[in-house]
Amino acid sequence: MIGEQKICFSGVQPSGNLTIGNYLGAIRNFATFSEAYKCFYCVVDEHAITVRQNPADLRRRTYETLALYMACGLDPEKNTLYVQSHVPAHAELAWILNCYTMFGELSRMTQFKDKSARHADNVNAGLFTYPALMAADILLYQTDVVPVGIDQKQHVELCRNIAERFNQIFPDTFTVPEPIIPQSGKKIMSLADPTKKMSKSDENPNAIVYILDDRDTIIRKFRRAVTDSETVVRFADGKDGINNLMTIYACFTGKTMEEIEREFAGHGYGDFKLAVGEVCADALAPVQARYRELLADKADLEAQMKRGAEEAAYYARKTLSKVQRKLGFVQLR
């Protein structure tokens, strides 16, 4: 807590084009915390390198992710927007927390198992200890709340365990954070296989709708979305494809499932898919326009990176110094 204001932290990897799952499950909701919380929103480039990256692509996507943050409504005057690798305290605290994180805890992380299966030729130590770096990201700022998608809840729970373990040995060091998971859009599924989460790393381009897809592409992808053999638009067990499309439509329109069912009573899946594509494209159009404006001024984005890093580093150093002092590290003045 900074003064009387509570702290909010979250981050997004610049490891690929962001999807509507990232948008609906996380980024779109970030701006709602700006009034009630002091918010730190980070482009987590250090997390991205657990999987091999093309350096030029990683550099470009770092700029793009920062621009998307602002295009999605994050005002740099109200939020601290910065790049993780520009604040060395993240990596420094991560090493310390590695020493207070149990091997068994890390081995139970679902994302480690999933990524290890997908990248069997590169199961590196960073991929395994990634949650300790995520814990450092959060705990550095004495974070009260962490808005995350449901797939990251396990990592925040581990962060809480690490904080509590450290606090038992060294009392009153860290604030123990709470995850905040949006009730709508908390898990957007693949359009090609609605039993799986929509992932920016999916090899099937028709499975994913990216935030920056143009209108025709968005509508085409929704027209091709997998559904079922029925023709009735209703939310029910066994209708994974339609359930996913209804969830997306609900997120963009604010309508309930019952309202959507009434709206499309008597309409087939073709009409419904078109409607979902149109509301998605309509919602993303102003985001895309603002994004293009921001990305055209690279110098301004770099200036924002610098401002954000300086502010984040000020708060991060206070926590890191406190931790180092409690551990018994010699601190030079």
Q: Residue 295 in contact with residue 63, Cβ under 8 Å?
A: yes
Continuous H helices in the chain: 20-22, 28-30, 45-48, 55-71, 89-98, 103-107, 110-118, 125-139, 153-169, 215-223, 240-253, 257-263, 269-295, 298-327
Structure tokens that stand for 319 in this block: 């926590």
β-sheet with 6-12: strand ranges across: 79-83, 37-43, 6-12, 145-147, 178-180
The residue among 14, 44, 10 whose CA lies nearest residue 27 is 10
- Token pair in block for residue 41: 């929103």
Q: Of 38, 106, 32, nearest to 314 (Cα)?
A: 38
Question: Which residues are identified as catalytic?
Answer: 115, 197, 200
Handedness of CA 218, 223, 228, 233 (dihedral sign): positive
Say if residues 313 and 87 touch (Cβ distance below 8 Å). yes
| Planar angle of CA 300, 26, 193, nearest 5 degrees | 120
Query: Rounded to the nearest 5°, which phi and psi values hold at 40?
Result: -115, 115
> Which helix or strand (DSSP H or E) is residue 42 part of?
strand 37-43
- Cα distance between the two ends of the chain: 26
Residue 168 to residue 188: CA distance in whole angstroms = 38
Specify the amino acid at residue 233: V
